[in-house]
Structure 1
């Protein structure tokens, strides 16, 4: 299984190569700082180990308490003697120190420095109070205070298998192990490896570990730095998110295509419905136009019939006037007048009856059309139109032609027979003639007959 290295220089990989076979091991981390970032012990904690984290900076101590519940976390400094000491805290860094010259250099580089007092314990006191039985490795990173930590240790009673001690000046490649290495060597430890920052020491009784500690981290250790692991994890998460987004996009595209298809179908249906509606409207408009034309025609025909009746009435009056003039001038014998008038009136009665029948048909057709559904439905459209009436010209030459066709010889022949016909008085009575009709002259009788017939025609036309 690939290891994840949290340490800044691969220290945890070197230690795991030598101590990975130990189950539920124990460590002491002096100057623990952050429990994850640049931590030498995080790899071991994740694999079941536990230990003691000593951190005087309050912010990092609180993080250790939160993330390392199995560990013992101490918010103290480690010194040669127990007591109270000055601590120069440089917030959010691993550069906090008990040495004023180290703090001054950090301040010169722009870091803020907070000076406070903290309790201090010796390493021996810590091991004694916790009843430590076996320490598999001790890590010391105290920014120049290494000798004070080592001076407060009891390596005769509490012997870590391996010690990893920072051996360079803070923020420098200059080594400072000459200040404290004698304390380690005199305690029965052998130097195993220098990784450029730290020195690795092995207890003489665990000399077999030197071979495994003497090699820097390499590809055969099968590990990844935490930065690489986080980058790969982030890349994997982004790839998964991208895959999800791609799948979602594909689904949305599929849905969009389906919606577009439905929209096209809806548009086609709408176009078809619009076309059908337009066709129906065209049919309705044509039916309306046809109905309006029929109405106009029927109304015109009705007006024509009425006008014809009026002309017939007027023509009769004119005929009566002409006949009277003819009689008065002696061109027509008065004895022929009754028979001629009866023949002429019979013909006019027939024509009048025919006109009435036609008028009745026209009125009935008009009423049927006005009561029809199409007439009521098209009423709003009909109101927006202006009725265009085509007026026919009146036949003004009808009367002269009629008079011309009354041949004088026929009138002279018919009038005497009419006057001598004994049914004349009964015909006069049936026409409501005056009582002294028999005493009148031929001319006056003709006038009476014409007036009576005219009145009768008017009553017939008016329907009374």
Structure 2
């Protein structure tokens, strides 16, 4: 007889709600979501009943933020990493009745891809691996937090400890919208560690008019940032690009895009 999987570890948010986490550090992003949210422009155009597509949902804190800020919003949340998806599903079932979860990555073409998963840094799970970019961004974070030398040494020793690689299913956003019968997306949120452009390229031309706002974390490597902005401009969006203080000196930027009239 197969044993039941263990209950996920849960950590309390400041308001007392318990969220399932891959690591206790997962909840460290919660204050930044509520105090100076990088998704503020995207949330501004949402109303009850709107659909948010959350690509790279991790454990669901962004989805929880969206449903807190706009009661009645519906979220389709995609997270391919097994351990992280289990936490996302647990959190959605207990805390977010308007959120549906999917165990898949999104890309330009359907199929499978190898996911790289770092147990000590699960927010960095990706199907577009780039060790040099990861290390550049983490070095920037350590610098910006003023981390001392001993802590840095321990950080780098443990950074890739227990790294896992395994295949995950990949769907296209076009297929998702078709299957779910969605023609209007209030917000497309993307946070997939260098896989942003393939997600956007997974839409068909005629589906773009149904996307009202996009907020994407984009890594400025291999021309990726310029390509994302150019694609969004070509689809009729106005864009704003900024970098959060924590990533100053790294490649991570936020691209916020709004369709005129949205």
The bucket for the TM-score relative to the shorter chain is 0.5 to 0.7
Select the structure of larger CA radius of gyration.
Answer: 1
1:15 alignment partner, one of 33, 38, 42:
42
Rate the CA distance shift 1:5–1:43 in 2: closer, same or farther, 3 A.
Answer: farther
**Mapping of residues 159-308 of structure 1, within 5 Å:** 159-169=210-220, 176-192=224-240, 194-196=242-244, 197-206=253-262
Q: Aligned partners of 1:80 and 1:24: how far apart in 2?
A: 28
Greater helix content? 1
Structure 1's 104 and 136: CA in aligned 2 closer, same or farther, altered over 3 A? closer
Q: How many residues align?
A: 195
Match of 1:56 in 2: 80
Partner of 2:105: 77
2-structure distance, mates of 1:138, 1:104: 24
1:24 equivalent in alignment to 2:49: yes
Deviations for 1:311-346, whole angstroms, at most 9, x for unmatched residues?
Answer: xxxxxxxxxxxxxxxxxxxxxxxxxxxxxxxxxxxx
1:226-279: CA deviations, max 9, x gaps? xxxxxxxxxxxxxxxxxxxxxxxxxxxxxxxxxxxxxxxxxxxxxxxxxxxxxx
The alpha-carbon deviation at position 115 of structure 1 amounts to 0.8
Any idea what the Cα deviations from partners look like across 1:125-174, whole Å, max 9, x if unmatched? Answer: 1111111132110111111111111111125225221100113359xxx9
Residue 45 (1) aligns with residue 96 (2):
no
Measured after TM superposition, the shift of residue 6 of structure 1 is 5.9
**Structure 2 residue aligned with 1:146:** 196
For structure 2, the residue ranges without an aligned partner over 5 or more in a row are 1-29, 139-154, 245-252
Measured against aligned partners, the alpha-carbon deviations of 1:339-397 in whole angstroms (never above 9, x if no partner) come to xxxxxxxxxxxxxxxxxxxxxxxxxxxxxxxxxxxxxxxxxxxxxxxxxxxxxxxxxxx
Q: CA deviation at 1:118?
A: 0.7
Q: Residues 127 and 103 from structure 1, CA distance in 2 versus in 1: closer, same or farther, beyond 3 angstroms?
A: farther
Task: Tell me how far 1:103 sits from its aligned partner.
Answer: 7.8
Distance 1:131 1:103 in 2: 40
- Verify the 8 A CA contact 1:140 1:146 in the aligned structure 2: yes
* Matched-pair contact (CA < 8 Å) for 2:77–2:99: yes
Report if the CA contact (8 A) 1:28-1:137 is conserved: yes
Structure 1's 102 and 151: CA in aligned 2 closer, same or farther, altered over 3 A? farther
- Structure 2 distance, partners of 1:179, 1:102, is 21
Q: Is it true that 1:118 corresponds to 2:147 in the alignment?
A: no
What is the deviation of 1:54? Answer: 0.5
Q: How far, CA to CA, are the matches of 1:103 and 1:79 in structure 2?
A: 22
Q: In 2 relative to 1, CA 161–155 (structure 1 residues): closer, same or farther, beyond 3 Å?
A: farther
1:134 to 184, 195, 212: 184
Higher relative contact order at CA 8 Å, sep ≥6: structure 1 or structure 2? 2
Q: Which residue is 1:354 aligned to?
A: none
Q: State how far apart, in whole Å, the 1-side matches of 2:132 and 2:57 are.
A: 18
Q: TM-score, normalised by structure 1?
A: 0.38
TM-score when normalising by structure 2: 0.65
SS of the residue 2:231 aligns to? helix
Q: Secondary structure at the match of 1:111?
A: coil
CA-based RMSD: 2.9
Q: Does the 8 Å CA contact 2:229/2:239 hold for their aligned counterparts?
A: no
C-alpha separation between the residues in 2 aligned to 1:61 and 1:105?
Answer: 22
| CA contact 2:79–2:103 (8 Å) conserved in 1 | yes
User: In 2, Cα distance between the equivalents of 1:111 and 1:139?
Assistant: 27
